[in-house]
Amino acid sequence: MKKFLKKNKNNRSSERLRFSFFPGCALKVSGHESTLSLLKFCDSVNIELKELEDWNCCGSSSAHSIDHNVAKHLPMRNISLVPKGIPLLIACPSCLIRLKSTYLKIKEDENLRQEYEEAWGKPFDEDLEIIHFFEIFNRIRLEDYINHLEEKLKKIKVAPYYGCMLSMPPNLRFENNYSGIMEKTLSKLGADIIPFGYANMCCGTYLSVAKPQLAQKVVTQIVSKAMEAGAECLVTACSMCHLNLEIRCALENSIPVLHFSELLSMALGAEDQKKWFPRHIVDPVPLLKKRGLLVS
């Protein structure tokens, strides 16, 4: 019956979308709750994510900073592992930039293509599609999977925080830009969106280790501005941002920070929050209970 309803509402939704999934170190190694809720959400909207087999680190901020060659070959190996014909989905904005810009460079540069093919023993796949997780909102309609969606998030006051994800290097400036996607999606699901001026300010990434005082100042500013604007929680698009907003905020009464995928999964009826929330430094459970999003 459910299937029949879905089919009638929208033909696109009857087909299960399949992606190769590149988790990257931030999601795989420390942001387990982000990965778990992402997989849960995708499953509930009929999307299959198959983890890219034996993927390696994209090189992060460190490879391109100090070693050209490693920065070039780490993403290249990942590109070579993607099964033909299946788009690669990446949820970490930083991994996306590393893989996508390497892919475009190979596409445009004959010498680099030769180097890639010699090193990784595979012809370069010109048609490989590399997309960010947000792209799926251009391919599915949430209303096909859920009824009364505007009641789901019960007016919880969220401040969407994008960090650097909307800033692209010049070679990617014509790629899709996802400005406003979190606002649009969450308000559709019944959240109360609190816009604030610091939504695009970088969280400091690794400066949180190497220059903690600089990161702390910026993070505290981001969180306090969201609070001043009236937010009850922040929602992040990136696992790294999530970690920094939690560990480097100097406020005593900081608000919870939720992963976008956690709110999405909850709105779609996921019940395994017990696996996610104990991993948060600022416990979101009291707020979610207060809003009636969690029952004891």
Partner 1 sequence: MINLGNEHHEFADEIKADSGINFNVCLHCKTCANGCPFIEGMDYAPNAVIRLVQLGLEDVALECSSIWICVGYNTCSSYCPMAIDIPAVMDGLRHKAIEKGVKIAEPDVLNFHTEVLNTVKKYGRTHKLEIMMRYKLKKMDFLSDMGLGLKMLKKRKLDLTPSKVQDKKAIEKIFKEK
Residues at the contact surface with partner 1, assessed by CB under 8 A = 25, 28-30, 32, 54-57, 59-70, 73-74, 77, 97, 119, 163-164, 166-171, 173, 200-202, 204-207, 209-212, 214, 217-218, 243, 247, 278-281
**For residues 79 and 88, what is the distance between their CA atoms, to the nearest angstrom?**
9
Shortest spacing between CB 191 and partner 1, in angstroms: 25
**For residues 231 and 224, what is the distance between their CA atoms, to the nearest angstrom?**
10
Shortest spacing between CB 239 and partner 1, in angstroms: 10
168 vs 191, beta carbon nearer partner 1: 168
Shortest spacing between CB 188 and partner 1, in angstroms: 27
13 vs 239, beta carbon nearer partner 1: 239
Shortest spacing between CB 91 and partner 1, in angstroms: 16
9 vs 77, beta carbon nearer partner 1: 77
24 vs 160, beta carbon nearer partner 1: 24
- Distances from the Cα of 94 to the Cαs of 32, 189, 210, 273, 284, in angstroms? 17, 27, 18, 26, 26
180 vs 269, beta carbon nearer partner 1: 180
**For residues 211 and 256, what is the distance between their CA atoms, to the nearest angstrom?**
24
Helix count and strand count (H, E) for the chain:
13, 8
CB-based burial label for 104 (10 Å; 0-12, 13-18, 19+):
middle
Shortest spacing between CB 164 and partner 1, in angstroms: 4
**Chain mean position to CA 136:** 11
Least Cα distance to 226 among 213, 214, 215, 235 occurs for 235
Determine phi and psi for 19, rounding to 5 degrees: -135, 150
67 vs 150, beta carbon nearer partner 1: 67
Shortest spacing between CB 159 and partner 1, in angstroms: 17
**For residues 58 and 77, what is the distance between their CA atoms, to the nearest angstrom?**
9
Least Cα distance to 263 among 16, 34, 30, 21 occurs for 34
